[in-house]
Amino acid sequence: MKKNPNRSTALIAHAYQPPAGFAAMQPAVHKASTIYFADTAAMKARTWKEKTGYTYGLHGTPTTFTLEERIATLEGGKQTLLVPSGLAAITLVDTALLKSGDEVLIPDNAYGPGKEFARHELARWGITHRSYDPMNPASLAAAITPATKLVWLEAPGSVTMEFPDLTMLLMTVRGKGIVTALDNTWGAGLAFDAFSIGSEGIALAVDVSVQALTKYPSGGGDVLMGSVTTRDEALHQAIKATHMRTGFGVGANDAELVLRALPSLPLRYEAQDRAGRTLALWWAERPEVAQVLHPALEGSPGHAHWARLCGQAAGLFSVVFDQRYSERQVHAFVDALELFKIGFSWAGPVSLVVPYDLAALRPGAPHRGTLVRFSLGLEDVADLIDDCVQALGALNER
């Protein structure tokens, strides 16, 4: 370049390099679509399969590589891929591992949008999905056919919170050449170890653990991201190939927000668990309530399985209101809440509620009526209880 380039060029091809060795608490945020190669030979020799260098922003930056390694550690896994949402983590696993003619089995209480993906998208590609009752391992055994290639697990189920016997479910699938994938969003890598579920000397593990990093790892209610973690290099590479071809990259600013929140994850999870159990126990004593669905509460479906596997629980539970309350009355209660906001997702600082019609959600459920799912934020739990007390006034208005 000439000595005195024009100003517009000088602003771009600038000679200044800051000193190396900037050591600070948080990792740097590296943003790029383009990444330079030193020469054409380096460009020709590029490989996106190993994390030995950089090829294009979509396939990784120092920021996303750093977050991938930390999520792998959180999950007790070896390799992690980042995707733009928790739902994208589910759809990536489906599209990477299934082909026309294959079958995938999904628990009937699984996260709804994952089931919708199977119903509408996988079906168009000639991939069949069938649901099984995760609380009855015989139902899983009966659903397996030679075409079954992937079995989804979720612990506990979304909204109705049944905690399955993961050991028995994994035993049922073992040795059949079927990949098992767990939606581990609730456990967040903290409540139990997805890659070590063995009991009585039997080593059992899921093959794939996905998380909505949107929830606890982000903790802010302001990031959408998902992760796909494995321990087997060949399985990781199979999913990674589809990850690359589908263009499921994440932005460095979002990765930064999750990196910043990870150190406080165990503290937040514990605090939200404590608050969740306090509020769930309070609801369990209320005369308006038919059932509280929280795996750490005795009498909740799958409590014994939870107790065997987990020490902790997410700050998330559902309350089934007694049938004598109409849907309109329960909605009036929800609308009267002030600290609890009405909205999807969970694990941010603000407590949230979502009402569901239990009969529509789970036709076979033992109770009828309207269910309200509570997710605990980080407010003082005494204030949250006061909020519920004041809003119960609206429930009883006719």
- Contacts with ligand PLP by CB under 6 A lie at 85-87, 111, 158, 183, 185, 212, 214-215, 224, 226, 345
CB of 157 to ligand PLP, least distance (A): 9
CB of 398 to ligand PLP, least distance (A): 35
- Chain-centre distance for alpha carbon 142: 28
Instruction: Spell out the residues 6+ positions from residue 241 whose beta carbon is closer than 8 angstroms to its own.
Output: 96
Closer to ligand PLP by Cβ: residue 85 or 300 = 85
Contact 151, 104 (CB under 8 A): yes
* Residue labelled with tokens 């059949």: 176
Contact 372, 321 (CB under 8 A): yes
Closer to ligand PLP by Cβ: residue 86 or 249 = 86
CB of 111 to ligand PLP, least distance (A): 4
Closer to ligand PLP by Cβ: residue 30 or 115 = 115
Closer to ligand PLP by Cβ: residue 179 or 391 = 179
Q: How far is CA 322 from CA 56, 315, 377, in A?
A: 56, 23, 25
CB of 385 to ligand PLP, least distance (A): 25
Instruction: Spell out the residues 6+ positions from residue 165 whose beta carbon is closer than 8 angstroms to its own.
Output: 135, 137, 302, 305
CB of 80 to ligand PLP, least distance (A): 15
CB of 224 to ligand PLP, least distance (A): 5
Closer to ligand PLP by Cβ: residue 326 or 345 = 345
3-state secondary structure of 27: coil
Q: Which residue number is nearest to ligand PLP in terms of Cβ?
A: 86
- Dihedral angle, C-alpha 173, 174, 178, 182, nearest 10 °: 70
Closer to ligand PLP by Cβ: residue 29 or 224 = 224
Contact 114, 151 (CB under 8 A): no
Closer to ligand PLP by Cβ: residue 112 or 393 = 112
Distance between first and last Cα of the chain:
81
The Cα–Cα gap between 368 and 360 comes to: 10
CB of 217 to ligand PLP, least distance (A): 11
